[in-house]
Amino acid sequence: MWKAVVFIFFWLLEATQGANDSTIEKMRVRIGHIGAINAMPKAEAILEICRKELWKEGILGEDFDIEILSQNGCGESFEGVAVGADMYHQQNVKAFIGPYCNAEMDAVSKMAAYWNVPIIGYMASSNAFADKTIYKTQARVSLRTTNSLALAAYALVKHYGWSKVAIVTNTGSLAFERTTAFEEIFHSKQITVVKKILIDENSDTKSLLAGGYLDEIKNSARIIICIFSATREMSREFMQAIVSSAMNTHDFVYILPWLQAEAKETAPWIGNDGQILQNVKETFANTIIVDDVNGFDNTLITPFRERIEANGITVDQLNLQNLYGYIHLYDAMKLYALAVRTALNETGDPKIVNDGRFLWNKMRRMNFPVSIGGVSSGIVTMDDLAERAGIYGAFFIAPNRDDVVKVVEMTPYALSNCDGVKNKSGCFELNVADVQTGFWPSIDGRLPSDEPTCGYRNEKCDYTLMIIIGALVIALLIILLIGYIIFRIIENNALASTSWRVFRDDLRIVTEDEMKSMLSIGSTKTKLSNMTRFNKHHAIIGTNTHASFHLYPQRRPITFNREDMQLLSMIKQAVHDNLNPFLGMSFNEKEEMLLLWKFCSRGTIQDIIYNEEVTLDNKFHAAFVRDITLGLEYLHLSPIGYHGSLTPWSCLIDRNWMVKLTDYGVANPLEKWEKQGAINKETLKDGEDKSGALQATSIDTPSVPRALIKCTLGILYQAPEQLKNREQNRRRNIDQNWLKQNQNRRQAGDIYSFGMVMYEILFRSLPFSENSNIEEIIEYIKDGNRTYKPSVQDRSQIHPDLISLLQDCWSENAEIRPSIRRVRLNTESYLKVKGSLVDQMMRMMEQYANNLEKLVQERTGMLEEANKRADKLLSQLLPSYVASELKMGRPVPPKTFKHASVMFSDIVGFTTICSSSSPLEVVTMLNAVYTGFDDVINKHEAYKVETIGDAYMVVSGIPQENGVRHLMHLSDVALEMMVFLSGFEIPHKKSQRIKIRLGLHTGPVAAGVVGLTAPRYCLFGDTVNMASRMESTGVPEMIQISEVFKLNLNEHYPEFSTELRGTVEIKGKGNCTTYFLGSKKEVNVEKLHDIFAY
């Protein structure tokens, strides 16, 4: 048969050597479709639908149209080859779609390559077609080509980090071809094929088990790639053999590339009637199928059916099992039309349709959307070899689900700078993305590794060391267990001799008379307590420890369990400023049990609240509430965890007015022992009120009658859930387990009780209306099934936020009650808590002391400032040296200075100026003049002695002696005064200038303080008189100096120039020669050194 085919092929080939292509008129290109007999009915109708769609999309038109010629092949005589030759030579076909089957596709593709005619395969899956050196003009749009599924299988293996796989395949040419494709891909991608198992093509489960193939797999691999010629049937037989050999554990992964020759086959676990064969599906529990992303769903059927029905074709006329064949047929024709349209647009040459290789190149890396049926795989993507690059998925077979589970999706992406023809690849890779993780039926949901840690046959593990380690671990556990048992024995012995047990012989009960005698020793004014609490229950432990106690009749010995002993030990060890120390417990002696607590001399909070003689202000309220919250917070954070019976009589007050909580933690054990019949309720003596954990009591006030003495008022302070729990325990039999509340509930119950106690502290009454019958309320709520919520009666007395806090504390829902920390912070904020009462008193005293110290500092500062002002004023009246001596209380005796200079000044015409000026103007003028003079004097070693009217007296060398420098300083002062007046204007007479006379003389001067009431520093002596005469006999605007002053000045300071005036008659001196002081020349520096050295 093959010889006949070859003969026809070469005959036709020779007949067409010289033939020329016929001219295409109006660009109506003929396409030859070679189908298969009884394979795809109505295939030509699908092609016609595609042609119409291409017209609508504008790909086909008047300039370019397609004529479809369809004939069937794929028969026993390879008719498709002859059909292809006839179409090309006789019917002038320019392109081929098909043939349908792989065998005929091989021959026709080779002929098409020789004719340079494009050929598009829509069902061809053979890997041989990927060789474009042979099939030069062939393109393929099929999703299930062997090489593409091999690439998808590799991407999956790489994604899960595997590098070693085994391949299971069967005999036969098709299986060999497929296996070769996978091996080539794995080899090029560095995936090691550790084992290749070849089974017979017709093997069943029994032959597989008998052949020993599975043992080879078990001993060589954990990741198995199954490649069969008949995928559906062979995979079912193989997986049944796997289950039979117990290799269906989560340690093995079986990957099934869903390779099919032509039409799509149903899953192996789907029967002929379409039902799921559950027993078969369970054998695939450890498999992953690699297929087209839509391979296991029916998303394409409905839109495909709607489209063909819209074109007048019914579903019954088609073979829907070959749905992908119809879709790929449509894709093939559209691929060709797009390639031709692209070529025409680029070249503009109609003859380009005759160049199959050119058109094939246009199909490379082409992308176009699928229109028939909506979508097939999104967008058709062609790789660099004009092979379809599809979107693939990995599907896990979950036996407990009807549908397979897509766990991985693989999307193609193009590689840049890649030529597929040269490197024989499509230049595409797959991007793998997890759709679902944790699906594998292992403990952690993770897939196994490709090689076990200990090897496939445990050859890499030596268990000797593990056995030794295991033995050591077991021995260590035994030692720890023995140690734990010994520890428990020692602990139990330690608990048996606990520190909280008080033997009866170690204590002495104090009688009532002895107690009154003890109380009479102290001052009743310091206790502020009527002593209604504990006045009947007192004892002395040891030598001098004063204790108060509760007495319970004991009917039989108390048996403590571990929890009770630990609780009592924790209560004994509790230490806090606001907790009353638990001294111990006396039991199993004298048919009575005693709970002993340290005695607090000022009684209870209840005693203070309802004592009308005691005035409670805000400081008392804040201090009491603060102490209670601090004690409760410590208990809630301690191992004890709760109080359990907070009432006003369980809040004691010590001698320092600090509140201490008592009876904490013992309410639950007492209730349990009473239920067990070990003890009875506390026995009270006549006239005694109860004051313990869950004790009955009364409030000794007019608002609460004494009739309530025998009523269990403590019920009012318990939360509703606590009352309900207690009632349930009361009704339980002795042999039934004791119902316990968790620690959070117990703490919430403490918050409820605290709200009641805080209300009593603030208002000195219960949080019920005045008309309420307390006894009826107790009877109403005692079983816990009914509630009577407290309320604030007078909202005007406290902060609104404090009202909200109380209401939260009384909430019937224990979960929303505030924590003790929030209660403490809120109360400290609202009540402005600043410590205990003693702390507040100490703080007040400290504040007073600080204020007093601050006041002293302020007064001292004021005194220092006054002293500074007085010193400044004194220094203005007297020389600084004299003022300092007077301040220190030392006398300043008169002193004679051998060398000093005196200067007098006088304003010329002062009387005339005064006559034409007001007193204020005169004073303003003199103040301005003398202020200028003072500034001049301050620059030099001179001292202004006094001013009398318009007279101004200055001295230098007194009271601080300065050698001969007084000559220079006073001369400089005189000259600078003249300079100052030269530019001075009278404030109220701008046009008139002031003229003065200056007189200077030097010589011995006597100086001293004169007067007590207004002491003045005065100068005496002939030198003073002579200086005055120099001024009075002087000339206006001139400085007259005596002869003695002139001689001394010229001797020591020659830079000063003088001018002889002549002889002047001086009163009391006669005629004297005087001089005028002129100016001052530049100073000789060396001379200055000599002067200062002097």
Pairwise CA distance, residues 783 & 778, whole Å:
9
- pLDDT band of residue 139 (cuts 50, 70, 90) is very high
pLDDT band at residue 508 using 50, 70 and 90 as cut-offs: confident
Burial class (CB in 10 A: 0-12, 13-18, 19+), 1064: middle
pLDDT value at residue 961: 86
The whole-number average pLDDT for the span 938-954 is: 86
What integer pLDDT is reported at residue 840 of this predicted model?
Answer: 67
C-alpha span between 16 and 116 (Å, rounded): 13
Would you list the DSSP string of 245-307?
Answer: TT--STT-EEEEE---SSSPPPPTTB-TTS-B-HHHHHTTTTEEEEEETTTTS-TTHHHHHHH
Q: Would you say residue 6 has pLDDT above 90?
A: no
Asked if 202 contacts 233 with a C-beta cutoff of 8 angstroms, the reply is no
- pLDDT of res. 263: 62
- Range of 152-161, 226-235, 868-877 with top mean pLDDT: 152-161
Evaluate if residue 639 carries a pLDDT over 60. Answer: yes
Q: How confident is the model at residue 895 (pLDDT cuts 50, 70, 90)?
A: confident
pLDDT tens figures, 566-588:
888 899 989 999 999 999 888 88
Amino acid at 592: E
**pLDDT band at 494; cut points 50, 70, 90:** low
Check whether 303 has a pLDDT greater than 50.
yes
545 pairs with which residues across the strands?
Answer: 541
Nearest residue to 965 via CA among 921, 901, 1020, 1010: 901
Average pLDDT of the chain is 82
More confident residue, 647 or 712: 647
Residue 738 is predicted with a pLDDT of: 64
Q: Quick one: what percent of the chain has pLDDT higher than 70?
A: 87
Q: What angle do CA 804, 808, 811 make, to 5 degrees?
A: 140
- On the question of pLDDT at 336 being above 70, the answer is yes
Residue of 293, 273, 300, 262 whose CA lies nearest to 152 = 293
Euclidean distance between CA atoms 925 and 987, whole angstroms:
7
- Residue-wise pLDDT tens digits, 677-727: 888 887 665 544 443 333 333 333 334 433 343 346 778 888 888 888 888
Report the pLDDT averaged over residues 72-82.
85
Question: What average pLDDT score do residues 376-393 get?
Answer: 82
Give the up-direction half-sphere exposure of residue 591: CA atoms within 13 A in the CB hemisphere.
2
pLDDT tops 60 at residue 833: yes
CA atoms within 13 Å, Cβ hemisphere of 922: 14
**What pLDDT does 694 receive?**
35
**702 or 490, greater pLDDT:** 490
Q: Name which residue leads in pLDDT, 744 or 370.
A: 744
Our CA dihedral for 792, 795, 799, 804, rounded to 10 degrees, sits at 40
pLDDT at 10: 43
362, pLDDT greater than 50: yes
Share of the chain above pLDDT 90, in %: 27
Confidence of residue 431 (pLDDT cuts 50, 70, 90): very high
pLDDT at site 1002? 94
C-beta of residue 339 within 8 angstroms of C-beta of residue 331 = no
Residue 810 has pLDDT above 70, yes or no: yes
pLDDT tens profile 154-189: 999 999 999 999 999 999 888 898 899 899 889 988
Q: Is 366:120 a contact under the CB 8 Å cutoff?
A: no
pLDDT at residue 692, rounded to an integer: 35
Question: Sorting pLDDT into bands at 50, 70 and 90, what band is 68?
Answer: very high
Q: What token pair was written down for 203?
A: 């093997």
Residue 526 pLDDT > 60, yes or no? no
pLDDT of residue 378: 61
**Does the structure show a pLDDT above 90 at 341?**
yes
pLDDT at 114: 94
Tell me which amino acid residue 593 is: M
- Closest among 583, 579, 560 to 507, alpha carbons compared: 583
pLDDT (tens digit, 9 = 90+) per residue, 1009-1028? Answer: 887 777 788 888 899 999 99
Closest to 67 measured CA to CA, from 117, 98, 28: 28
Question: Is omega for the bond preceding 99 within 30 degrees of 0, making it cis?
Answer: yes
| Mean pLDDT of all residues in 186-195 | 91
pLDDT at 843 over 80: no
Average pLDDT over every residue of 903-921: 88
Q: What is the pLDDT of residue 792?
A: 87
904 pLDDT higher than 70: yes
pLDDT band at 841 (very low <50, low <70, confident <90, very high): low
- Decide if pLDDT at 514 tops 60: yes
Q: What is the pLDDT of residue 683?
A: 66
Whether 1088 has a pLDDT exceeding 80, the answer reads: no
Cβ 1016 vs Cβ 975: under 8 Å: no
Mean pLDDT value across residues 790-814: 87
What is the per-residue pLDDT for 696? 33
